[in-house]
Amino acid sequence: MAILLALMIVIQSLRFILPLPSLILLFLIGTALNACLICTAELIGLSAALGLTLLMPLVAFFQQAFFSPLFVLPALIANIIYLLSYVACSHLHISLVSGVPALLRMLALYVVSALTFAFLGFNETQAVMLQSILSVTQLATGVSGILLCRVLLTKLHTSMRGGH
């Protein structure tokens, strides 16, 4: 778990050194973080993955990825829903196991961020625009993270059996 936590901190730090547009960075970093989270659940267990789920938004906050500490809560809730729904769907077809958790995460983030934006006094146009950007990227990175994790785990299992 410590190695995956360290990897996740490094991944979250990539925004400081990669000269890429924000949306591309968000997609790459989000996909990698989601893959780490799902791989943790698969390799170590749900409790370890929940521990990382709690730490991810805190690390992001301390790295100044959020402009308000209130955004830790929507990220935390969305991550918990993503992880728990993945575990609940993990026995289903890959289209469901990758789609359902990402969709539920997107919906959770949309609702919780709407409440947060209202609390912070954002006007409706600003809130809807930010919610849409956040939600769509969460859907894309959620699906991509699960698919990446599945590829990585397949490669890991193949290499452990002595395959190439």
Indicate which CATH number applies to the domain containing 16: 1.10.1760
Tell me what pLDDT residue 133 has.
Answer: 67
10 pLDDT exceeds 70?
Answer: yes
Residue-wise pLDDT tens digits, 21-59: 888 888 999 999 999 999 999 999 999 999 999 988 888
- Produce one character per residue of 81-90: b if its CB has 16 or more CB atoms within 10 Å, e if not: bbbbbbbebe
Threshold 0.75, pTM exceeds: yes
Q: Which of 1, 52, 160, 95 is nearest to 152 (CA)?
A: 160
139 pLDDT exceeds 60?
Answer: yes
Residues 58/64/68/71 CA torsion (nearest 10 deg) = -40
Max Cα separation, the chain? Answer: 58
Please spell the DSSP secondary structure of 76-101, one letter per residue.
HHHHHHHHHHHHHHTTS-HHHHHHHH
Query: Judging by beta carbons within 10 Å of its beta carbon (0-12, 13-18, 19+), is residue 56 exposed, middle or buried?
Result: buried
Residue range of the domain that includes 82: 1-162
Instruction: Give the residue-averaged pLDDT of 146-163.
Output: 86
162 pLDDT exceeds 90?
Answer: no
CB 128 within 8 A of CB 114: no
Tell me what pLDDT residue 161 has.
Answer: 80
Query: How many structural domains compose the chain?
Result: 1
